[in-house]
Amino acid sequence: MNLSSSASLISQPEWRIIDQSSLGPQFEAKHSFAIDDTLCASVGKHESQATARTWVHHNTIVLGIQDTKLPYLEDGVQFLREQGYHVIVRNSGGLAVVLDQDVLNISLIFPDQEKGIDINRGYDAMLELIKYMLGDNGDKIEAREIVGSYCPGSYDLSINGKKFAGISQRRLRGGVAVQIYLCVSGSGSERADLIRQFYEISLKKEQTKFSYPKINPATMASLSELLQIDLTVEKLLYKLLTALKEHSQRLLSSSLTAGEQLVFQQNLLRMIERNEKVFLRKNEG
């Protein structure tokens, strides 16, 4: 069984695999976004083949740029920290999401070829890959915005109207990173309720130009909850590697090269400075 033609991006001569799913709590989300920017540059310059990176971060809330404009952001961040979460601001759009040890993140990095990769083509490739990974259960997945979920978007992945994943894209230096977070197990509604409380505390019913989501925890669930099967990050990772192997001639396990490490350090510095500016400005305000 091959993926549909819309997902031909998944069929590559060779996939470079960077697995960072088991690095533990000391692996910070700021590093992840800097790594994906680094890989975008490498793949964009054809110094690297198409790359699949898997990553897990423990108890982390990733905010989008719009979230930094919340009127009482510092109160919301303080609440999240009191619940035991690290809080970072990513270098791209979207809104707040929850990452923890039961959330698997996958980044697929492609070269943005001469004619360019259409935005929907990147999203569709990830959607088809996830469907393929889940086998017979893949047919149950819908891609549409789930109103009431956190970080809602047109490529929310859901089963029976309950969201378990969200897809985003970042385009940089000739590369395209298609990123997904998959709530594999645990309580989707508890994660959603955490973000609901964050927005309540950060808004305090104040009217804002931007319309932040009104979160209904019942709109979110994990894959394990939805499929009533025992799924783990490790099991889903195995399904991913199997799917990629079946759509390429070989998988190449890898880490960052020496040259990429230098670019990564520069990108990480940008991420650190971005976060310091956001939280310093808010605290001074």
What's 17's domain CATH number? 3.30.930.10
Cα 45 off chain centre by:
23
Please state, in angstroms and as integers, the Cα–Cα distance from residue 185 to each residue in 60, 159, 224, 227, 247, following that order: 16, 14, 5, 10, 27
Q: What is the mean pLDDT of residues 241-246?
A: 96
CB within 8 Å of 246: residues ≥ 6 apart: 2
Tell me which of 63, 143, 151, 263 is the catalytic residue: 151
Could you give the number of structural domains in the chain?
A: 1
Which residues constitute the domain of residue 48? Answer: 5-284
Is the pLDDT at 283 greater than 70? The verdict is no
Contact 235, 43 (CB under 8 A): no
Average pLDDT score over residue span 156-178: 93
Strand partners, 251: 15
Q: Which of 47, 21, 49 is nearest to 109 (CA)?
A: 49
Quote the pTM value: 0.94
Average per-residue pLDDT in the chain? 92
Are 206 and 143 in contact by the 8 Å Cβ rule? The answer is no
Residue 110: closest CA among 51, 166, 167, 155: 51
Q: What percent of the chain has pLDDT over 90?
A: 86
- 151 assigned to active site: yes
pLDDT beyond 80 at 117? no
Average pLDDT for residues 264-283, to the nearest whole number?
Answer: 88
